[in-house]
């Protein structure tokens, strides 16, 4: 299955997914990285694996629909079957949702529905909860409101900082995301 990964930042989840395709843990091919940040670190990670990158700055488009139509055109040109959001910091709009309905997933650093949106790790620390985690879900028009596919808890210790908790969460993300994607792909090809 040909997949595209959308990322806005460092790209650690994108790299974990690409690695999983290279080691045979994930029966897919990452054919495109899409980023809305032309200087994002994910571009360096993609270059390392020779994965093509399309960096599209939304400010260069008349509106969200025209920006997303350019993305859809790129996805179709690359024969992408499935879209994987990995730190893509934009709400997906109607144009992309309609083109890839039921074929877009996202990862979020909390046990949704707790702490949707930005800074989920900081929100969990501020709330002084003992458990947070990772959620993988289908994308819908809301913010982190789509059908949950998989979740895994992460314990918060009293000594955790945002940085130490983020490292623990990312460790879980890098294992859970490829494993969950493989389950989705296996189900879709049955």
Q: Is 143 annotated as a binding residue?
A: no
**108 among known catalytic residues:** yes
Q: Are 154 and 170 in contact (CB under 8 A)?
A: no
Q: Is 164 annotated as a binding residue?
A: no
Q: Is 111 annotated as a binding residue?
A: no
Q: In whole angstroms, what separates CA 106 from the centre of its chain?
A: 4
If DSSP states are collapsed to H, E and C, what string results for 10-73?
CCHHHHHHHHHHHCCCCCCEEEEEEECCCCCCHHHHHHHCCCCEEECCHHHCCCHHHHHHHHHH
Q: Is 92 annotated as a binding residue?
A: yes
Q: Is 89 annotated as a binding residue?
A: yes
Q: Are 40 and 57 in contact (CB under 8 A)?
A: no
Q: Are 1 and 79 in contact (CB under 8 A)?
A: no
Q: Is 91 annotated as a binding residue?
A: yes
Which member of 108, 137, 168, 174 is catalytic?
108
Q: Is 106 annotated as a binding residue?
A: yes
Q: Is 169 annotated as a binding residue?
A: no
Catalogue the active-site residues. 108
Pick out the residues of the known binding site for (6R)-10-formyltetrahydrofolate: 64, 89-92, 106
Pick out the residues of the known binding site: 11-13, 64, 89-92, 106
């Amino acid at each position: 299955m040909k997949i595209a990964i959308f990322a806005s930042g460092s790209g650690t989840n994108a790299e974990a997914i690409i690695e999983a395709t290279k080691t045979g843990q994930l029966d897919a091919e990452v054919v495109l990285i899409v980023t809305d940040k032309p200087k994002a670190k994910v571009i360096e990670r993609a270059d390392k694996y020779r994965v093509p990158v399309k960096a599209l700055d939304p400010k260069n488009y008349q509106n969200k629909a025209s920006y997303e139509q350019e993305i859809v055109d790129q996805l179709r040109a690359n024969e992408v079957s499935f879209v994987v959001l990995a730190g893509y910091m934009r709400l997906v709009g109607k144009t992309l949702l309609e083109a890839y309905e039921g074929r877009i997933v996202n990862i979020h650093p909390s046990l949704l529905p707790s702490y949707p949106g930005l800074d989920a790790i900081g929100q969990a620390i501020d709330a002084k909860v003992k458990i947070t985690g990772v959620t993988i879900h289908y994308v819908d028009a809301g913010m982190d409101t789509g059908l949950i596919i998989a979740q895994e808890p992460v314990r918060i210790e009293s000594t955790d900082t945002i940085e130490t908790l983020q490292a623990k969460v990312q460790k879980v993300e890098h294992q859970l995301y490829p494993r969950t994607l493989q389950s989705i792909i296996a189900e879709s090809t049955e």
